[in-house]
Amino acid sequence: MESGETDTPEVQIASFRAIVRGRVQGIGFRYFVRSRAEELELCGTVRNLTNGIVEVEAAGHRPQLDRLIEHLHEGPGLASVQSVEVDWEITVTAGGGFRITY
Protein backbone atom coordinates (compact mmCIF):
# COMPACT_ATOMS: atom_id res chain seq x y z
CA MET A 1 0.00 0.00 0.00
CA GLU A 2 1.31 3.46 -0.89
CA SER A 3 1.96 6.02 1.83
CA GLY A 4 -1.25 7.85 2.73
CA GLU A 5 -3.54 5.11 1.35
CA THR A 6 -5.99 3.29 3.55
CA ASP A 7 -7.90 0.10 3.07
CA THR A 8 -11.10 1.76 4.33
CA PRO A 9 -13.64 2.38 1.56
CA GLU A 10 -14.60 5.99 0.95
CA VAL A 11 -17.92 6.92 2.55
CA GLN A 12 -20.30 8.89 0.35
CA ILE A 13 -22.46 11.42 2.17
CA ALA A 14 -25.45 12.94 0.41
CA SER A 15 -28.00 15.53 1.47
CA PHE A 16 -31.37 16.90 0.47
CA ARG A 17 -33.92 19.59 1.23
CA ALA A 18 -37.55 18.45 1.14
CA ILE A 19 -40.77 20.45 1.19
CA VAL A 20 -43.74 18.49 2.54
CA ARG A 21 -47.26 19.74 1.80
CA GLY A 22 -50.61 18.63 3.13
CA ARG A 23 -51.92 18.24 6.65
CA VAL A 24 -48.47 18.23 8.21
CA GLN A 25 -48.57 20.86 10.97
CA GLY A 26 -50.08 20.54 14.42
CA ILE A 27 -50.12 16.73 14.33
CA GLY A 28 -46.59 15.77 15.47
CA PHE A 29 -45.04 15.60 12.01
CA ARG A 30 -41.75 17.25 13.06
CA TYR A 31 -41.34 14.84 15.98
CA PHE A 32 -42.13 11.93 13.68
CA VAL A 33 -39.44 13.08 11.23
CA ARG A 34 -36.85 13.62 13.96
CA SER A 35 -37.54 10.18 15.40
CA ARG A 36 -37.21 8.43 12.02
CA ALA A 37 -34.07 10.43 11.14
CA GLU A 38 -32.44 9.52 14.44
CA GLU A 39 -33.28 5.83 13.91
CA LEU A 40 -31.59 6.10 10.49
CA GLU A 41 -28.58 7.92 12.01
CA LEU A 42 -29.07 11.01 9.86
CA CYS A 43 -28.19 14.62 10.60
CA GLY A 44 -30.24 17.68 9.81
CA THR A 45 -33.27 19.75 10.75
CA VAL A 46 -37.04 19.81 10.39
CA ARG A 47 -39.20 22.90 10.82
CA ASN A 48 -42.63 24.32 10.16
CA LEU A 49 -42.85 27.17 7.68
CA THR A 50 -45.43 29.92 8.06
CA ASN A 51 -47.41 28.75 5.02
CA GLY A 52 -48.37 25.35 6.47
CA ILE A 53 -45.44 23.51 4.89
CA VAL A 54 -42.80 21.41 6.66
CA GLU A 55 -39.17 21.76 5.52
CA VAL A 56 -36.69 18.92 6.07
CA GLU A 57 -32.94 19.13 5.51
CA ALA A 58 -31.06 15.87 5.99
CA ALA A 59 -27.56 14.49 5.41
CA GLY A 60 -26.17 10.98 5.61
CA HIS A 61 -25.78 7.81 3.61
CA ARG A 62 -27.97 7.66 0.51
CA PRO A 63 -29.91 4.46 1.41
CA GLN A 64 -30.93 5.94 4.77
CA LEU A 65 -31.91 9.24 3.10
CA ASP A 66 -34.06 7.33 0.61
CA ARG A 67 -35.77 5.58 3.54
CA LEU A 68 -36.42 8.93 5.27
CA ILE A 69 -38.06 10.21 2.09
CA GLU A 70 -40.38 7.17 2.18
CA HIS A 71 -41.29 8.13 5.76
CA LEU A 72 -41.99 11.71 4.65
CA HIS A 73 -44.55 10.41 2.16
CA GLU A 74 -46.25 8.37 4.91
CA GLY A 75 -46.11 10.75 7.89
CA PRO A 76 -47.56 9.95 11.31
CA GLY A 77 -51.10 8.61 11.70
CA LEU A 78 -52.91 11.97 11.62
CA ALA A 79 -50.95 13.34 8.65
CA SER A 80 -52.31 13.65 5.15
CA VAL A 81 -49.30 14.20 2.90
CA GLN A 82 -50.19 15.69 -0.47
CA SER A 83 -46.68 16.05 -1.89
CA VAL A 84 -42.99 15.79 -1.08
CA GLU A 85 -40.58 17.79 -3.23
CA VAL A 86 -36.95 16.73 -2.84
CA ASP A 87 -33.93 18.69 -4.00
CA TRP A 88 -30.69 16.76 -3.64
CA GLU A 89 -27.96 19.14 -2.53
CA ILE A 90 -24.46 19.11 -1.14
CA THR A 91 -25.02 22.01 1.25
CA VAL A 92 -26.46 20.27 4.31
CA THR A 93 -23.69 19.76 6.85
CA ALA A 94 -23.34 16.25 8.26
CA GLY A 95 -22.85 16.00 12.00
CA GLY A 96 -24.63 17.33 15.03
CA GLY A 97 -27.62 15.00 15.12
CA PHE A 98 -31.14 15.82 13.97
CA ARG A 99 -32.97 18.85 15.38
CA ILE A 100 -36.35 20.48 15.29
CA THR A 101 -35.86 24.18 14.58
CA TYR A 102 -38.28 27.05 14.97
The SS3 call for residue 36 is helix
Rounded to 5 degrees, what are φ and ψ at 31?
-70, -35
Please report which confidence band the pLDDT of residue 97 belongs to, taking 50, 70 and 90 as the band edges. confident
Q: Which residue has the higher pLDDT, 45 or 10?
A: 45
The CATH architecture one would assign to domain 14-100 is: 2-Layer Sandwich (3.30)
pLDDT for residue 70: 98
Active site residue 30: yes
Q: How many CA atoms lie within 13 A of 88 on its CB side?
A: 8
Instruction: Single out the catalytic residue among 21, 48, 67, 99.
Output: 48
- Domain boundaries, given as residue ranges, for the chain: 14-100
What is the structure's pLDDT at 1?
Answer: 46
Residue 58, classed as helix, strand or coil, is strand
Q: Would you call 51 a catalytic residue per the annotation?
A: no
pLDDT at 102: 78
